[in-house]
Amino acid sequence: MYFMKGTALLAALILSIAGTALAQTKNVEEIIAWVNNDIILKSEYEKRKAELRAELAQPKPQGAGLSGAQLDQVFNDRSKTLMREMIDEALLLQQAKDLGLNGESEVIKTMDQLRQQQHLDSMEALYKAIVDQGYNLDDFRQNIRSRYLTSQVIQRQVSAVVTNEELRKYYEENKKNFDRPAGVQLAEIVFLTENRSPEGIESQRKKAEEALAAVKKGDDFAQVAAKYSESGTAENGGDLGFTAKGELAPSLEEIISKLDKGQVSDIIPVQGAFMILKVVDKHAGGVLPFELAQKEVFGLLYDQAMQPKIREYLTKLRNDGFVKTAEGYVDTGAAQKSEKVSEAK
């Protein structure tokens, strides 16, 4: 979530930094894969392997907390799909470029989310925290950008259907899994101000005032969010889902605590943005009613339905383009020969 606190997201990003994006400049060294006009170097592959092992060995909750024979087994199993994952990523980033997608606003938003999670007073303090852990700030930003762009390509190019009947059935059969502490369901409208001039910031505030005025006069919050918001949640009407009490930044927790179900906040200045929040619903604790659990249930079932669709899409990108691996390296995402023969027929 945009303003939730904790260290898991920062740790996950740091662990995957260096190998996530293809290098911008390729030195003369061994090439192990060709993906259309891009290449994958052996050094990149080995670095990604080292990061995978480090993540698996990292103590919980940031990592898997594995060791010994169990670590070796899981690492060996996961390593078998590493080349496929790197090729998948290269193909998706190429598609993002073709679609004219830009992840700069997402970089700004995510960096501020991390700053708040770490309870840091400024972005400079976050930059220092990242560098102090031995990571390059530009690589860190590129990692966020890559993760966003690949997810955006999937959202635009791949789809799956989950019916209301499937949602209700799963909820009824798994109610015990939706026992939650007290919390709220929120929706947001966001106006970014990071790296803007004083005039630009004032312009953003005026937009926020227009949006708030529209909501106060009775316009549907979701429609206003879709029209105005600069957050990735805009396409879902600003829906942030359920947030347990205590997960918000303290300043936002205080604001939300004073709002009843259905009420909307005033404009909230946060680092890098103006926000308007709506309390869609409140939960006193216990098993979430279906209405509050629905978003989570949908996410679970949609992910399950999407996996084979995504694989089909990535296989098509391989077949439509040029993908080749060096001897000794296997792309497990490539279509099997039998599949290609049947397509030819």
- % of the chain exceeding 70 in pLDDT: 88
Q: Which of 25, 31, 142 has its CA nearest to residue 89?
A: 142
- Any residues with CB less than 8 A from the CB of 310 and at least 6 apart, and which? 154, 158
Q: Which of 279, 295, 277, 261 has its CA nearest to residue 189?
A: 277
Q: Are residues 70 and 131 in the same domain?
A: yes
In a domain, 141, yes or no: yes
In a domain, 170, yes or no: no
CATH number of the domain encompassing residue 196: 3.10.50.40
Q: Are residues 133 and 228 in the same domain?
A: no
What span, in angstroms and rounded, lies between the C-alpha atoms of 236 and 226?
A: 7
Total of domains in the chain = 2
Q: Are residues 141 and 57 in the same domain?
A: yes
For residue 14, count CB atoms less than 10 angstroms from its CB and return exposed for 0-12, middle for 13-18, buried for 19 or more.
buried
In a domain, 293, yes or no: no
Most confident of 12-16, 89-93, 286-290: 89-93
Q: What range defines the domain where residue 123 resides?
A: 8-157
| Tens-place pLDDT, residues 75-107 | 999 999 999 999 999 999 999 999 999 888 888
Q: Are residues 193 and 279 in the same domain?
A: yes
In a domain, 54, yes or no: yes
Q: How high is the pLDDT of residue 12?
A: 45
Q: Which of 19, 23, 15, 51 has its CA nearest to residue 133?
A: 15
Q: Are residues 140 and 188 in the same domain?
A: no
What's at 289, amino acid-wise?
A: P
Backbone angles phi, psi at 277, to 5 degrees: -115, 145
Q: Are residues 130 and 27 in the same domain?
A: yes
Specify the pTM.
0.65
What span, in angstroms and rounded, lies between the C-alpha atoms of 280 and 187?
A: 7
In a domain, 38, yes or no: yes
Last-in-domain residue among 265, 284, 303: 284
What's at 260, amino acid-wise?
A: D
Last-in-domain residue among 123, 157, 191: 157
